[in-house]
Amino acid sequence: MQLRGSTALITGASRRIGRAIAERLADAGCNVALHCRHADEHAHACRDACAARGVRAVTLEASLLDPDAVAALPGLVVAEFGRLDILINNAATFEPMSLADFSLDRWQRDLAVNLTAPMILAHASAAALRSAGGRVINLCDAAAERPFPGYLSYCTSKAALESLTRSLALALAPEVCVVGVAPGVALWPDPMDSATKERLLSRIPLGRSGEPSDIAELIHFLLERGDYITGQILRVDGGRALR
């Protein structure tokens, strides 16, 4: 796939892994539509950083809890850029929920953002992606197979997203490739204590946590060179799954 001149819609693009992906694609000449929940200083900084690389970059504000707003995003991208080649479902909620703390409202919210929004976006993007011979990249998580204790809704939603990735690969073939990228430890979540960090690092054969650039580089490869890869979940975990 030729990235220069293509257009990507990236959800949750203003910070962390989302921003790293956006800037890496901009480096390759890909125009970017940067979804954010609120167009704050982080969103504007990401937009400006991408535009400084010589591509077109816009921010699109929408709540992923609003199905109508989610469904409208691909049309906004096509109206702005005239095309949509790449959908990257990166946005996610990540908050603790133990069995004792179960809340139906929070459960439904987490699944709405982490699972339902990617489904709605894939449906709304399908015609444009098929026309472009495009790509869908879903940001999954190693926790889909090795759940984090006390994160019931998050881990469940990511496991379901892996299944959705495989189903979409069949539904959108042969025109569109759909791949899941599953980071292990890549940027520590804010509430994680140092003892937990050390315990997790001790189980990673490569001896370090991942960086956003590790994920962004794999996605760049999949987009530019992954013409015969679809329906796969690729781990970026430093070998954590081996232990």
What single DSSP character describes residue 239? T
Cβ neighbours of residue 49 closer than 8 Å, sequence gap 6 or more: 19, 22, 23, 26
CB of 126 closer than 8 Å to CB of 87 = no
Strand order of the sheet with strand 233-236? 57-61, 31-36, 7-10, 86-89, 135-139, 177-183, 233-236
Question: Pick the catalytic residue: 143, 154, 168, 219?
Answer: 154
The verdict on whether 154 is a catalytic residue reads: yes
3-state helix, strand, coil in the chain (%, to 5): 50, 15, 35
CB of 52 closer than 8 Å to CB of 119 = no
Give residue for tokens 């919210």.
109
DSSP alpha helices (H): ranges in 52-97?
A: 67-81
DSSP alpha helices (H): ranges in the chain?
A: 16-27, 41-51, 67-81, 104-111, 117-132, 152-172, 194-201, 212-225
Known catalytic residues are 154
